[in-house]
Structure 1
Amino acid sequence: MSLLRSFKETLKPCCNSSSFSQPSLSQQPPLPSVINQRKPPKSSLSRQLQRLEHDYLPSTQECHFGNPKFSLPQLKNDAHMHGQQDDDDHQEEAEEEEVKEFGRAELGRVQFEDTGPYEPLVLSSDGEFPIIQVPAYINCRLLAHQREGVKFLYMLYKSNHGGILGDDMGLGKTIQTIAFLAAVYGKDEEYGDSRVLKENQLGQKGPVLIICPTSVICNWKCEFSRWAPFNVSLYHGSSCELILEKLQANGVEVLVTSFDTFRIHGNLLSEIKWEIVVVDEAHRLKNEKSKFYSACLEIKTRRRIGLTGTIMQNKIMELFNLFDWAAPGSLGTREHFREFYDEPLKHGQRATAPERFVRVAGERKQHLVAVLHKYMLRRTKEETIGQLMLGKEDNVVFCAMSELQKRVYQRMLQLPDVQCLINKDLPCSCGSPLAQVECCKRIVPKGIIWPYLHRGSPEGCDSCPFCLVLPCLVKLQQISNHLELIKPNPRDEPDKQRKDAEFASAVFGPDIDIVGGNAPSKSFMDLSDTRYCGKMRALEKLMSSWALMGDKILLFSYSVRMLDILEKFLIRKGFCFSRLDGSTPTNMRQSLVDEFNSSPSKQVFLISTRAGGLGLNLVSANRVVIFDPNWNPAQDLQAQDRSFRFGQRRHVVVFRLLAAGSLEELVYSRQVYKQQLSNIAVSGKMEKRYFEGVQV
């Protein structure tokens, strides 16, 4: 009773307060870890009050963003929030920093509200038996948009077909899926076995298969343990045979496996009759020619659910592949989709498209969106939790390359291999009416890159000289990021190392002594030096200012060698950091994330875009740096949203570093083009027609 009286007393000053001001962002405390590890509430009132006191009590003496209904007695000590203390307690008042809210004019009203009453969420229709409902201990912790997502998933399940939950990254697709499964499998009891578990043991319900990236396998199991009493097993690593035997003996309710494991063992797992199959980060199903896609098509169930925040990444045809797996036949045949949707939408978006093309594209766009919405639920952060977050600012930073980088870049452009591509459409010098690419310059025997690619076929290949495009683009991007990247990689085969050494000597030219030769540098001081790298010079200035402000930083790169260089740079500058890349063991990744979120001393998290761009929850960071842009815009967006997701209580600022005057400007323009196509096809938005070309 004393706790209840204390809770009532707390409500009074909050309700009577005429204003609820907010301190500056620089004074905000680090995010309490309980936001990401919220525990299901107990059933009694006293236990609910204990949970509230535990979940909403910050680690410091201030509760900056707490809901007034749940404020604790210690808030009476904050004079600037309540205005009820004596003058002696607040002789000086800090000025509040004005920051524009994401989607709103002011940020002072941002509050995390309670999610709902302690009661179940009924999904089944009136009179339907048995009653399907999300247990109260889960429902009371769901946000409004998450309840709608659970209803959508149950509608798909009841209709006996699949679909896509396409919410923005960070809106809780994992939690919505677990809540939906808890309803279907009758996890009504807070502890112990439920009635449907017993039915499942009798074979009346099949198990659930969840396929996800390796980096989030442990996260899925952890979330199940926090939210619902499922029997979860991981089909990954050396214990696969034992888990398979347990599965065949009906001893597993939920099986979690990785993309690579399923691609290898898909023939064994496809023999199981699954009740529901969930593919996390389902955009991995975009390529119909991949072995993973073929393996997923063999799964024996029609209840296929895809979870992805980036439904389309590169091409409109990726939509067909994704939905044809989740709901086969929902978009017709591949040829029909290409002719009716893909071609009209692409050509209607051209800058000089005729009015008729634009009109047809508008009609097909609306028709496609209407069809997709039958099998897809798509919500954005602005629509759902915009009032709960402080917004995200996206900056593209054009970094001037160093003088040495510019000279090396120009020498690269003068190589015979690159000149062949640049002049491919010019008339051939032999006097032939054909273009160079069709005549004498189809092959480049005097080049550096071409001879290595065709070391077994001096006559070239059917794709010549266009087989040079990708290798040349990679080299230009490496020069734009750091000159050390074009030197031989010790992990490569000897032949490739010799070729790379020859290439480095050619592009370094007379500057080869400045960079320490064409062999990989082992000098810590040389690798951590920022003099010859424009991006690292810009990064050095940015991070110096952030360190003084107490910001926490996520630093992404898709190159492991670039991560090695950045790691030496961080050591030299005295930053305390963590690192996660493809070599990080799966069982260690979540502990690294937890340590970074909870430890104030960890200033920087160095992450591989490929390994850490999916599933990680790093809401303690408020600064994100994308060191090198990716041709696929979804890769960069996923990296950004490791920080900008539910639970983030600070304004997130993103910096995408581009080498000015380099190929990376083209990479950025291609990102804009692909994002426009995605907005048109998935959301039905009107986009300005900037580009003339059409992506094949």
Structure 2
Amino acid sequence: MSSFNCLKETLKPCSTFSSSYSSSQISLSQEIQSPPIQRKPPKSSLSQQLQRLQDPFFIPPKQIIVEEENFGPYHQHRREPISTHFQFDPTGPYEPLILSSPADNPVIQVPASINCRLLEHQREGVKFLYGLYKNNHGGVLGDDMGLGKTIQTIAFLAAVVGNETEHSACKVVEIDDGKKGPVLIVCPSSVITNWENEFSKWSNFSVAVYHGPNRDLILDKLKSKGIEMLITSFDTFRIQGTILAEVPWEIVIVDEAHRLKNEKAKLYEACLGIKTTKRFGLTGTIMQNKIMELFNLFDWVAPGSLGTREHFREFYDEPLKHGQRSSAPDRFVEIADKRKQHLVNVLRRYLLRRTKEETIGHLMMGKEDNVVFCAMSALQKRVYRRMLQLPEIQCLINKDLPCSCGSPLKQVECCRRIVPNGIIWRYLHRENPDGCDSCPFCLVLPCLLKLQQVSNHLELIKPNPKDDMEKQRKDAEFASAVFGTDIELVGGNTPSESFMGLSDVEHCGKMRALEKLLLTWISHGDKILLFSYSVRMLNILEKLLIRKGYCFSRLDGSTPTSLRQSLVDDFNTSPSKQVFLISTRAGGLGLNLVSANRVVIFDPNWNPAQDLQAQDRSFRYGQKRHVVVFRMLAAGSLEELVYSRQIYKQQLSNIAVSGKMERRYFEGVQDCKELQGELFGICNLFRDLSDKLFTGEIIESTQKREEKYAHCSDIDQGVGKIFVPDESSGAFPSGSENRKYNDLDNPSTSKPLLEDVGIVYAHRNEDIVNLGPELPGKKDVNISTVEHSTHTSKIRHADRMLSVVKKDNSLIKEQKRKQYSLLAQFMGMGEIEFSKWILSSSRSEQAKLLRRYKKHKEKLQNG
């Protein structure tokens, strides 16, 4: 009876529709047959959001326009785009999913009880895993977080090693004694419970956890064939790997497989000892920092698939990195393009990578990732500059200069190898006053940590009461040195106990901007996730929320695992809970917070995957609203360099994994001492950027360089349409024809609003990182071991194909230039003036021009 009442509720007209529409009859069958509306909502303008700070009743004009012929009259003053079509539970027909070929015997299939609950992309994932399994090798399921990699894996296991017999399904793969081999699942300890719960929901396997006490009992039961699925943690497997390697595993699955990125790690060495060819990795972040991480991961799941380590480095890693350099010669760029395409084609045999936009995008309203550069307070800037003058940092900056003693050696090799007058150095070397083997490079990480603390909040560089007394004395001395004459303004060099002082935003640029953003969001009913990497920073932010009277929840590493899910459920269901404070490290896995539609990442991470995982706590299946993310950076600080390196790493990942085109922003090349550019090397880490707009200048100079050539390809002769600059350049925002310029990038409209909030620069991350689509190519390439001869033949073929494409492209560009010139003459303008007219005109004006030109051309031909 309750399910019938739920069905009646589902069929009720939406309350947001007008009375005239709700009174009209809607045919349910007609609604089911009509395809779901696949559209991205118009990207919200940061400037429009900020205007609400000045006018609490401000409503952005025409933010939502729904066509009347499809949906009838609609309230246009809803601030968030709302999906108006019915959304049913993702259930399919109650029938098994056949995986094996028709001629195969026995038949391999996913039981109907599981298949009926899978989404279509999950069925494709199961087929992919079975294809790898059938060919007796492994691979990587690299779907975005939230697409159900765990569920796809369990469905796959139910088909190949399950014990259900629906529809007379015969199961396969038996070891010599007729018993099926067990399956090993290695995962982070924080998701062991999640795996257990999913197994209980989706299957009836006998599951055991090899973690903590009673491991010997579990191992005895495993050897007696009493366990089908064994789950263990990374740490346990790293320690007990030699014992577990003796078990004849049928399948081994590593969740969060990007942990296998380092070939020198003990975990990687332990995983190499597993005696099975059916190795599967699950990860949404296939590559995090370096292209060589790809080799380590895929050489584990499919040994030899990418050749030898040295061959991979020379053939793929080096050309791709050097081809992405901003001033790379054309020859380098061409070689990088060819190697990129070849690498993508090889990986596609062992990798299935899908995004939310490709799979469940029509069920979600989209995500917008804003990066905002907040102005540091005047006090923060003074403290930051004092830090750069400390003896330790000056030693690192000047390490390559000639030594002042007159020797031919560098300072780092002579008199300045140690820093006995440095506060940090003395503490690190309190037991070895003559220095260590790593001096002075042992100072890099401690100094970087202090710079990041100043960028976030000055209170963070004061002593932590939880540290030992000696470290507290060192931190107090350090705080006195960098505060200098401003020490009274920050309440001395000891931790402040003043609630009002800690919650005050006067001396923290990020908190000043956050305070105003929270005001407008909460006043409009938004729910916010607020992330920080530092627990001490969470304590300060918590005091700000209390002072402002906001109702919030909090989760960090100290939160018991048993209480985490109840906190999540309470936040998702309680209308009164407005903000969720989360530690970025604690919030990385297993949290589903779809009730929030605003995400703030207060401090960035060196690893871009950490920030992206934090965003996906909200942007996942079940999210009904448009998600807006704000990544807050301290302008002119080390955080700008951290973010620029994030862009670099994301671009390399897009190039190597997906074969996408990316803008070439940076001159630096990773792991190349001769080409450190503006990103790499110790001297860049400790540069004074406080008077510069470092990231903005690099991005804008790159875009201006591209705009010089933009008008050369503005006319598509075959379609008869004027092409304006790509939306990623910021000239035209997605989904809007009424606004000529992106408010975020238009200085005349956005700059005063941004400055009022304390933001000196802002952009959308997706507009900066993603330039072009994936490379076209076959989904499957029959390459098991990449030999040099195979590379050579394929590259020669690619060379011939590339020369043909270049020839065709040059002809097309020449034709477009001629057409562009003729249109400019028709308008009585020069080409530059005509380019400006295109940028300032509406789409209807452009279409009208083309119609006029077409008629004019027909008259000339007929006349």
Q: What's the TM-score once normalised by structure 1's chain length? A: 0.83
Aligned to 2:483: 508
The one of 594, 618, 621 aligned to 2:569 = 594
Secondary structure of the corresponding residue to residue 256 of structure 1: strand
Compute the displacement of 1:461 (Å). 3.6
Q: What's the offset of the Cα at 1:662?
A: 0.8
CA distance 1:345–1:229, change in 2 (3 Å):
same
> How do residues 268-347 of structure 1 correspond to structure 2 at under 5 angstroms?
268-347=243-322
State the one-letter code of the partner of 2:28.
C
Deviation of 1:203 after TM superposition, in Å, equals: 6.0
- In structure 1, give the amino acid aligned to 2:344: V
Residue 116, structure 1, aligned to residue 92, structure 2: yes
Tell me the distance in 1 between the aligned counterparts of 2:449 and 2:566: 34
Secondary structure of the residue aligned to 2:585 is helix
Contact 2:109 2:169 in 1 (8 A): no
Counterpart in the other structure of 1:654: 629
Name the residue aligned to 2:20: none
In structure 1, what is the equivalent of residue 16 of structure 2? Answer: none
Query: Does 2:437 align with 1:423?
Result: no
Q: Is the CA contact 1:211–1:258 (under 8 Å) kept in the aligned structure 2?
A: yes
For residue 504 of structure 2, the aligned residue among 517, 529, 540 is 529
Q: Could you list the per-position Cα deviations for residues 37-75 of structure 1 after superposition, in whole angstroms to 9, with x for gaps in the alignment?
A: xxxxxxxxxxxxxxxxxxxxxxxxxxxxxxxxxxxxxxx
Residues 598, 248 of structure 1: alpha-carbon distance in 2 compared, 3 angstrom cutoff: farther
Which residue does 1:624 correspond to in 2? Answer: 599
Give the structure 2 partner of residue 687 of structure 1.
Answer: 662
Q: 1:12 to 1:114 in 2, by over 3 A?
A: farther
| Residues in 2 aligned to 1:98 and 1:602: alpha-carbon distance in whole angstroms | 20
Work out whether residues 81 and 626 of structure 2, in 8 Å CA contact, stay in contact via their aligned partners in 1.
no
- Give the Cα–Cα distance (whole angstroms) in 2 for the partners of residues 98 and 493 of structure 1: 51
Q: Secondary structure at the match of 1:612?
A: coil
State the alpha-carbon separation in 1 of the partners of residues 408 and 248 from structure 2.
63
Selected match of 1:149 from 125, 133, 145: 125
Match of residue 135 from structure 2: 159
What CA distance in whole angstroms lies between the structure 2 residues aligned with 1:178 and 1:358?
43
Query: Which segment drifts farther, 284-293 or 599-608?
Result: 599-608
The alpha-carbon distance between structure 1 residues 214 and 355, as it changes in their structure 2 partners (threshold 3 A), is same
Q: Which amino acid aligns with 1:228?
A: S
* Structure 2 Cα separation of the partners of residues 255 and 280 of structure 1: 13
Unaligned stretches of 5+ residues in structure 2: 13-24, 42-67, 672-863
| 1:258 matched to 2:233 | yes
Question: SS in structure 2 opposite 1:575?
Answer: coil
Letter in 2 for 1:150: V
| Cα shift at 1:629 | 0.2
CA–CA separation in structure 1 for the residues paired with 2:11 and 2:293: 57
Q: How many aligned positions are there?
A: 626
CA distance in 2, matches of 1:655, 1:241: 48
Offset at residue 519 of structure 1 (A): 2.2
Please name the residue that 2:108 is paired with.
132
Residue in structure 1 matched with residue 552 of structure 2 by the alignment: 577
1:96-149 Cα deviation digits (max 9, x unpaired): 548679xxxxx6568567553222110011122221111122212222211111
Q: Work out the CA distance in 2 between the residues paired with 1:111 and 1:638.
A: 26
Q: Against the structure 1 CA distance between its residues 615 and 202, is the aligned structure 2 distance closer, same or farther, given a 3 Å change threshold?
A: farther
Which residue among 86, 91, 95 is the counterpart of 2:76? 95
Which amino acid counterpart does residue 128 of structure 1 have in structure 2? D
Contact 2:108 2:171 in 1 (8 A): no
Q: Which residue, 362, 365, 368 being the options, matches 2:337?
A: 362
Distance verdict in 2 for CA 1:483–1:358, change over 3 Å = same
Among 362, 365, 375, the alignment partner of 1:390 is 365
Q: Which runs of 5+ in 1 are unaligned?
A: 26-78, 84-91, 102-106
User: Following the alignment from structure 2 to structure 1, what is the Cα–Cα distance between the partners of residues 111 and 214?
Assistant: 33
Match of 2:851 in 1: none
Quickly say closer, same or farther: Cα 1:544–1:257, change in 2 above 3 A: farther
- Match of 1:449, SS? helix
C-alpha separation in 2, matches of 1:16 and 1:680: 43
Q: Give the whole-Å Cα distance in 1 for the aligned partners of 2:222 and 2:545.
A: 46
For 1:210 and 1:320, the matched residues in 2 are separated by: 22
Residue in structure 2 matched with residue 547 of structure 1 by the alignment? 522
Give how far 1:301 is off.
Answer: 2.0
In the TM superposition, residue 382 of structure 1 has moved relative to its aligned partner by 2.1
Task: Give the Cα–Cα distance (whole angstroms) in 1 for the partners of residues 345 and 585 of structure 2.
Answer: 33
**Does the C-alpha gap of structure 1 residues 556 and 381 become closer, same or farther in structure 2, counting only changes over 3 Å?**
same
Cα 1:16/1:614, change in 2 over 3 Å: closer
Which position in structure 2 is the counterpart of 1:28?
none
Is the 1:209–1:255 Cα contact (8 Å) retained in structure 2? yes
Alignment of 1:444-523 (within 5 A): 444-523=419-498
Moved more, 287-296 or 263-272: 263-272
Match of 2:27 in 1: 13
Give the CA deviation at 1:474. 0.8
1:111–1:387 Cα contact (<8 Å) kept: no
Confirm or deny: 8 A CA contact 2:392 2:424 kept in the other structure: yes
Q: How many angstroms apart in 1 are the aligned matches of 2:574 and 2:628?
A: 21
Q: 1:201 to 1:99 in 2, by over 3 A?
A: farther
Tell me, in whole angstroms, the C-alpha distance in 1 between the residues paired with 2:118 and 2:531.
31
Please give the alpha-carbon distance, in whole angstroms, between the structure 1 residues aligned to 2:288 and 2:521: 32
For residue 396 of structure 2, what is the amino acid of its counterpart? L
Q: Which moved more, 1:534-543 or 1:472-481?
A: 534-543
Alignment partners' CA distance in 2, 1:679 and 1:401: 32
Give the deviation of 1:432 after TM superposition: 4.8
Q: CA deviation at 1:254?
A: 1.6
Structure ID, larger Rg? 2
Cα deviation, residue 267, structure 1: 3.0
User: 1:168 aligns to what?
Assistant: 144
TM-superposed deviation, 1:500: 1.5
Letter in structure 2 aligned against 1:453: L
Q: How far is 1:444 from its partner?
A: 1.9
How far apart in 1 are the matches of 2:245 and 2:647?
Answer: 39
* Amino acid corresponding to residue 125 of structure 1 in structure 2: S
Query: Residues 566-592 of structure 1, C-alpha deviation per residue, up to 9 Å, x if partnerless?
Result: 233333333333322223333333333
Flag the 1:450–1:3 CA change in 2: closer, same or farther, 3 A.
closer
Q: Which amino acid aligns with 2:394?
A: Q
Matched, 1:644 2:619: yes
Give the direction of change, closer, same or farther, for the CA distance of 1:199–1:571 in structure 2 (3 Å limit).
Answer: farther
**Matched position secondary structure for 1:567:** helix
Q: Matched residues in 1 for 2:4 and 2:586: separation? A: 46
CA distance in 2, matches of 1:589, 1:274: 33
Q: Displacement, 1:160?
A: 1.6
Q: 379-388 vs 449-458, which deviates more?
A: 449-458
Q: Note if 1:559 corresponds to 2:534.
A: yes
Worse-superposed segment, 336-345 or 228-237: 228-237
Query: After superposition, what is the alpha-carbon deviation per residue over 1:233-274, rounded to whole angstroms, capped at 9, x for unaligned?
Result: 233333434433333332222222222232233333223222
Separation in structure 2 between the aligned mates of residue 359 and residue 93 of structure 1, nearest angstrom? 51
CA contact (8 A) 2:340 2:656 kept: yes
Q: Residue 80 of structure 1 contacts residue 93 of structure 1 at CA under 8 Å; is this kept in 2?
A: no
Matching residue of 2:159: 183
CA contact (8 A) 1:528 1:572 kept: yes
Indicate conservation of the 8 Å contact 2:506/2:512, yes or no.
Answer: yes
SS at match of 1:237: coil
Query: Are the equivalent residues in 1 in contact too, given 2:295–2:306 (CA < 8 A)?
Result: yes
Q: Which moved more, 1:196-205 or 1:320-329?
A: 196-205
> Post-superposition shift, 1:9?
9.6
Tell me: CA distance 1:209–1:646, structure 2 relative to 1, closer, same or farther (3 Å).
same
Distance in 1 separating the partners of 2:324 and 2:173: 56
> Structure 1 437/21 Cα, relative in aligned 2: closer, same or farther at 3 Å?
closer
